Amino acid sequence: MIRVRFIAADGQSTVDAEAAPGTVLLDLAQANDQPLEGTCEGQMACSTCHVIVDPADFARLPRSSDDEEDMLDLAAGVTRTSRLACQIVLDESLDGLTVHIPGEVRNMQGR
């Protein structure tokens, strides 16, 4: 099992979750009541699953695609370690990953 820690936007509350390898981070977040909407259902057509990866963990992630970078350009509160949770597939190399839930979300689909 892959362990992931979600840190709420307030920086205080945390949720520790576990998932099988191959689970998409967005699915794990939603299964654990994290406020990531995922409006486009993982099709990389919105930025409502934007998370901020802990700087200590960011280098463990595969590089983001140009399409993901384009979507992140539209997200609110983007940082150097921002990613879309729908694009992170968990594997053993990501065990212990920590992600922060941003304080605001911008839905570019207008739903």
pLDDT of residue 28: 98
The tokens for 59 are: 């280098």
> Is residue 108 within 8 Å of residue 46, measured between CB atoms?
yes
Q: Higher confidence at residue 9 or residue 3?
A: 3
Which residue type is seen at 62? P
pLDDT-based confidence at 43, cuts 50/70/90? confident
> Is residue 85 within 8 Å of residue 41, measured between CB atoms?
no
> Is residue 101 within 8 Å of residue 34, measured between CB atoms?
yes
Inter-CA distances, 111 with 26, 41, 46, Å: 19, 13, 10
Per-residue pLDDT tens digits for 70-100? 999 988 899 999 999 999 999 999 999 999 9
